[in-house]
Amino acid sequence: MLRYIARPPLSDERLSQLEDGRVALRLKKAWRDGTTHVAFTPHEFMAKLTALVPRPRANLVRYHGVFAPAAGDRRRIVPAGVACGEAGTRACDGEHRTSSRRQSWAELMKRVFKVDMLECPR
């Protein structure tokens, strides 16, 4: 999870600063008209980046049609969970039970950055 969160939205190799102070973004593939780079002022570039940040407490996946939470035919399409109370099954409220324990901050840092935070460097 940390590796995903720490991943930048754009690769550093694709960004460069032009002589006039604008930010140039190299495109992954050239457009039909042959454009290979897009240039923004620093303010425009920051505005484009902030548009990628989702609103707080907003679901990133939204379901429409019969998969929507209040759809009338949802019960006929979405499979029902096994009876409540059985080990390793869905809970009555629809949440999955997990048997895995939460990892500590130090364990996550060791997993992502290969650095043991609990080990003294001396």
Collapsing DSSP to helix, strand or coil, 6 comes out as helix
Q: Is 80's pLDDT higher than 80? A: no
Residue 6 in domain: yes
Residue 46 in domain: yes
Q: What is the pTM of this model?
A: 0.44
Count of domains forming the chain: 1
49-78, pLDDT tens digit by residue? 888 888 888 777 788 888 888 888 888 887
In angstroms, the CA 70 to CA 59 distance is 16
Residue 59 in domain: no
12-51, pLDDT tens digit by residue? 899 999 999 999 999 999 999 999 999 999 999 999 888 8
By C-alpha distance, which of 82, 81, 64 is closest to 73?
64
Residue 44 in domain: yes
Q: Is 94's pLDDT higher than 50? A: no
Non-local (6+) Cβ contacts of 47 within 8 A are none
